[in-house]
């Protein structure tokens, strides 16, 4: 099939799945709101009352956050995998998410105001943290310009642990009240984000996705190795810098608004690759929608499975992701000594 038509088909199928899941998520929750009432609120018949608050101020923004965060994490996963030529790469495994989280904790420490200013400040600190962590991982793991799988994974884990410990230090030293709900946030939670901050999140996600998607064709060629890509006309150094920045921006914006949520960038690209093949021009747009669907499903599970209490969505993705990672490591990408 011609590639653009295949892309259109993929996006319409995933779009339909996304709408279905979003509709489902809108109907479920600990507050008893009947489907009829939800529909009534949506078409504007019931503008006030508890139902309107639950649907418009709680459930709808939360669905939006889930879709944005899931899409961003999945695209960041595809980008890091293409960049490192390694299907096991993921923002959390590579330690980038921990770096971003450390940035957010520092930002909390200094105080960043409130509202949209706070959203921008947190994002900036998270972005700086992500860049520093990714840069350290790259510098340690690169040997002769290559990133061997074992070294890369180990380095990522170690850098991640380092930044997690740094976060623990800050939390232990600083007065607990000043850090607010940082513990809760560190587990990865999709709370309803106010409209202004949501717009900032959406904009950051759009910029990051554009940075990565705009070089999808070149990323395909990078799979042949840097030298071959260069010999085919790809300016590899510029490409790597751009993808590095884009993927770090996506990761850090998710961390800033929801906390570190692991494994989405590993699971979703892998599943999509099974259906679509490795062409990044299909994979990246599909990851935007597929990642959203996956995280929305996980979050809906997180807020219903122990209702009226709530689990952190990061717990759900880790429970899915950890066995999945082991499966990938043992079956698909067994390292030959």
Contact string 296-335 vs another protein (x = CB under 8 A): ----------------------------------------
Q: CA-to-CA distance for 106 and 125, rounded, in angstroms? A: 8
In terms of residues, how long is the chain? 337
Residue 273 makes contact with another protein by CB under 8 A: yes
At closest approach, how far in Å is the CB of 237 from another protein? 11
Contact string 28-67 vs another protein (x = CB under 8 A): ----------------------------------------
Residue 233 makes contact with another protein by CB under 8 A: yes
Binder among 9, 203, 223, 307 for another protein (CB under 8 A): 223
**Do 279 and 162 meet the contact criterion of CB atoms below 8 Å apart?**
no
**Do 60 and 251 meet the contact criterion of CB atoms below 8 Å apart?**
no
The Cβ of residue 219 has, within 10 Å, a number of other Cβ atoms equal to 27
Element (H, E) at 3: helix 3-27
Identify which of residues 218 and 248 has a Cβ nearer to another protein in the complex: 218
DSSP annotation of 179: G
Q: CA-to-CA distance for 77 and 286, rounded, in angstroms? A: 12
Identify which of residues 8 and 199 has a Cβ nearer to another protein in the complex: 8
**Residue 216, CA distances (Å) to 244, 263, 280 in order:** 13, 22, 5
Q: CA-to-CA distance for 121 and 228, rounded, in angstroms? A: 41
Identify which of residues 118 and 221 has a Cβ nearer to another protein in the complex: 221
Identify which of residues 11 and 17 has a Cβ nearer to another protein in the complex: 11
Residue 220 makes contact with another protein by CB under 8 A: yes
**Do 302 and 313 meet the contact criterion of CB atoms below 8 Å apart?**
yes
Across 305-323, b (16+ Cβ under 10 Å) vs e yields eeeeebbbbbbbbbebbee
The interface with another protein within residues 83-122 (CB under 8 A) comprises: 85-87
Identify which of residues 86 and 164 has a Cβ nearer to another protein in the complex: 86
At closest approach, how far in Å is the CB of 145 from another protein? 9
Bond from prior residue into 290 cis (ω within 30 degrees of 0): no
Q: CA-to-CA distance for 331 and 327, rounded, in angstroms? A: 6
Residue 144 makes contact with another protein by CB under 8 A: yes
Q: CA-to-CA distance for 72 and 127, rounded, in angstroms? A: 14
At closest approach, how far in Å is the CB of 235 from another protein? 6
**Do 70 and 292 meet the contact criterion of CB atoms below 8 Å apart?**
yes
Residue 231 makes contact with another protein by CB under 8 A: yes
- The residues facing 143 across adjacent strands are 146
DSSP annotation of 332: I
At closest approach, how far in Å is the CB of 98 from another protein? 25
Binder among 225, 301, 304, 319 for another protein (CB under 8 A): 225
Q: Of the ranges 29-37, 132-140, 224-232, 301-309, which one interacts with another protein (CB under 8 A)?
A: 224-232
Residue 278 makes contact with another protein by CB under 8 A: yes
Binder among 230, 315, 328, 329 for another protein (CB under 8 A): 230
Identify which of residues 22 and 219 has a Cβ nearer to another protein in the complex: 219
What phi, psi does 143 have (nearest 5°)? -125, 120
How many residues sit close enough to another protein to count as binding (CB under 8 A)? 27
Binding interface with another protein (CB under 8 A): 3-4, 85-87, 144, 216-218, 220-221, 223-225, 227-228, 230-235, 273, 277-279, 281
């Amino acid at each position: 099939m011609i590639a653009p038509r295949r892309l259109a088909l993929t996006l319409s199928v995933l779009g339909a799945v996304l709408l279905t899941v979003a509709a489902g998520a809108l109907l479920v929750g600990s507050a008893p709101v009947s489907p009829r009432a939800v529909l009534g609120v949506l078409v504007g018949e019931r503008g006030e009352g508890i139902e309107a608050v639950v649907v418009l101020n709680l459930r709808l923004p939360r669905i939006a956050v889930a879709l944005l965060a899931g899409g961003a994490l999945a695209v960041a996963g595809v980008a890091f995998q293409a960049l490192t030529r390694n299907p096991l790469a993921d923002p959390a495994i590579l330690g980038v998410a921990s770096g971003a989280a450390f940035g957010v904790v520092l930002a909390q420490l200094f105080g960043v105001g409130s509202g949209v200013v706070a959203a921008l400040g947190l994002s900036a600190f998270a972005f700086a943290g992500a860049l520093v962590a990714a840069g350290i991982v790259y510098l340690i793991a690169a040997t002769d310009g290559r990133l061997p799988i074992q070294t890369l994974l180990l380095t990522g884990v170690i850098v991640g642990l380092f930044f997690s410990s740094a976060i623990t230090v800050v939390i232990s030293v600083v007065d607990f009240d000043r850090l607010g709900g940082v513990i809760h946030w560190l587990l990865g939670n999709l709370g309803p984000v106010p409209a202004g901050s949501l717009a900032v999140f959406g904009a950051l996600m759009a910029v990051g996705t554009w940075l990565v998607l705009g070089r999808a064709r070149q990323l395909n060629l990078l799979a042949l190795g840097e030298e071959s890509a260069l010999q085919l006309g790809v300016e590899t150094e510029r490409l790597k810098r751009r993808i590095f920045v884009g993927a770090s921006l996506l990761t850090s914006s998710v961390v800033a608004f929801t906390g570190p949520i692991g494994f989405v960038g590993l699971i979703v690209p892998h599943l999509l690759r099974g259906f679509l093949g490795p062409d990044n021009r299909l994979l990246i747009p599909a990851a935007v929608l597929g990642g959203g669907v996956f995280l929305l499903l996980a979050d809906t599970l997180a807020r219903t499975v122990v209702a009226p209490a709530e689990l952190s969505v990061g717990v759900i993705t880790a429970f899915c992701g950890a066995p999945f990672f082991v499966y990938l490591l043992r079956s698909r990408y067994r390292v030959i000594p």
